[in-house]
Amino acid sequence: MIKAAGVAEVTDEDFEAEVIGSELPVLVQFTAEWCGPCRQLAPVLSAIATEEGDRLRIVQLDVDRNPGTTIAYGVLSTPTLMVFRGGEPVKSMVGARPKRRLLEELADVL
């Protein structure tokens, strides 16, 4: 998996504690090593993690190694970006996008 700087990796085992139990909203990138658009998104997520770290937590979940969470949230393609707030998914987006557009799409959940 392409690891984005400032972005933690979560698994089926710790998803509940790290995402559902988070005080901050959490943006989860459902990703895979073979996913080209996921690699394009890595620097975008790193930049947002650095700039918005006090308001938003960003994590990555590898769909191949964590099928339980992937299936539970109906993720069918990568990258899927899902925002969780208060333990519930409140927004879902599919595909890579530039930083400016992603920040615009996140404005209502931050």
35 is catalytic: yes
Spatial separation of the C-alpha atoms in residues 105 and 4, rounded to whole Å: 20
53 is catalytic: no
Choose the catalytic residue: 35, 42, 56, 58. 35
Strand spans (E) along 4-87: 8-10, 26-31, 57-62, 80-85
CA atoms within 13 A on the CB side of 14: 11
C-alpha dist (Å) from residue 63 to 22, 75, 76, 87, 100: 21, 8, 10, 20, 26
Choose the catalytic residue: 1, 38, 81, 106. 38
Which tokens in the block code for residue 88?
A: 């519930």
User: Which active-site residues does the annotation give?
Assistant: 35, 38
